[in-house]
Each structure stands twice: as C-alpha cells, then as structure tokens.
Amino acid sequence: MSFIGATMAVMMTFMQGVDETGTAVARPIGSVQTDSATGSKYQIFEFYGRPPHTWEHARRMVKGYIIDGREGQLATVKDVTTHYFLILNFPEMRNLPMWIGLYAQCNETAELFWADDTPLADQAFRGFADGVARKISRSCTGRNKNSGNTAPIYYQPDEFGVRWQMGSSKQNLQYMMVEFPKPKEEAEAGEGETGETQQP
C-alpha cells in the first residue's frame, strides 16, 4: 500500500474508530483509476479489524475518504461502459466478491437505489446474474415487504464473468469498490460546454 494510502488508513482509525456498526475500518489497496468517460475515480478498499464487514458498515466507512476534494461512496455502475471499465482495470474483481453502492428497498415494489439515491429504474444497464432480479423481487415483496429491510448488492465472479448478486444485511464481505465521483458543479460545467471555439 502507498504511503498516502497508509496515512489515510491511520487517520480513519483515529477519526472513526469504533462506532455502533462495528470496529472494522476500511482502507484503500492498489491504485486509483480514473474513468475518462464519467470523470469518476475508483479504488478497491478492504476491511481490516473485527467484523461486521457488512454493506452498511462499508457505506459508512468510505465516506471518510477524500481524493482531490471528492468524498468516497460505494461505487455506482450506471452503464455497461463503467461495468467493463471496472472489470478491465481491477483484475481483483475476477476473483473477489465486492460491495457496490446498490441496494433493494424491501417494500411492495422492491425498488433498487444507488448510494447517491438515484433509482436503478432511471438506467437501462443491469448487471444481475441469472435469476437474481427474481430473487430480489420474491425476497422483498413477500413477507418482508413491510419490514423496512434493505438487500445489498455486490459484484460476484462466476464462470460467466463478474455480475451482481443479492446479499443480506448481515452478510460480511472483505472488499468493496469505492467511487470518488466528479463534483456536481464540474459535471454541470462540462455538460454546458459545446467543444467549439467561441468567437469574441
């Protein structure tokens, strides 16, 4: 791990320490990769310390990390380009299950949301393994529909590739994919640019 990564991990230990979700903290491993298509930066993090290593604990831990003024969050994967960018740039994904920022809200419709509150329904891309979407629907719209529970989603390598699987609120995973998204003001400024030279 780099000196900066080690320093960040130590800072997190002192800043967050023990909270009500457990004693484990998250630390970055490997290098940061920037997706030129979206401007987001990504890095794999791992838990160290005593479990739980749950999705909720991961979501809380990564918010304490900042790169270039960007606060971390569990990764959003809103199109197929981002999906393949992650798989190609992080070969660890082909061997290790990892939390991402997607979860299902158990209610009558089993709606899915990203960590930034964007509904999955707003995008066309789906990375679910076979049968997982049906499993989410059955689990969250049946006897659990009024429970208020959430079902976290994670990347799971299998013989067909790396795809989304449904986890549980108490499930422990050691690794997570973390995103440092482009600040909204930068993204909005980029959308306003036409790429043409303006006349004085």
Residue 191 placed within a domain:
no
Q: What is the pTM of this model?
A: 0.82
- pLDDT value of position 154: 98
pLDDT at 14 over 60: no
Residue 116 placed within a domain:
yes
Distance of alpha carbon 154 from alpha carbon 184, whole angstroms: 26
- pLDDT value of position 15: 42
Planar angle of CA 21, 25, 27, nearest 5 degrees: 150
Q: Token pair for residue 2?
A: 């780099």
Residue 86 placed within a domain:
yes
Distance of alpha carbon 7 from alpha carbon 147, whole angstroms: 40
Distance of alpha carbon 42 from alpha carbon 35, whole angstroms: 8
Query: What one-character DSSP code corresponds to residue 33?
Result: E
Name the nearest CA neighbour of 38 among 116, 102, 103, 94.
116
pLDDT at 44 over 90: yes
Residue 190 placed within a domain:
no
CATH of the domain at 34: 3.10.100.10
Q: Token pair for residue 4?
A: 């900066």
Distance of alpha carbon 1 from alpha carbon 7, whole angstroms: 10
Task: Determine the structural domain holding residue 97 and report its residue range.
Answer: 3-183
- pLDDT value of position 145: 63
pLDDT (tens digit per residue) in 143-179: 666 667 889 999 999 888 999 999 999 999 999 999 9
pLDDT (tens digit per residue) in 110-146: 899 999 999 999 999 999 999 999 999 988 877 666 6
Name the nearest CA neighbour of 46 among 170, 178, 199.
178
- pLDDT value of position 43: 98
> How would residue 186 be classed by pLDDT, with cut points 50, 70 and 90?
low
How many domains is the chain partitioned into structurally?
1
pLDDT at 180 over 50: yes
Residue 107 placed within a domain:
yes
Residue 96 placed within a domain:
yes
Distance of alpha carbon 73 from alpha carbon 57, whole angstroms: 12
CB within 8 Å of 159: residues ≥ 6 apart:
none
**Higher-scoring residue by pLDDT: 5, 75:** 75
Report, in this order, helix, strand and coil percent for the chain, each rounded to 5.
Answer: 30, 30, 40
Residue 195 placed within a domain:
no
Averaged pLDDT, 8-14: 42
pLDDT (tens digit per residue) in 22-35: 578 899 999 999 99
Residue 193 placed within a domain:
no
CB within 8 Å of 144: residues ≥ 6 apart:
106
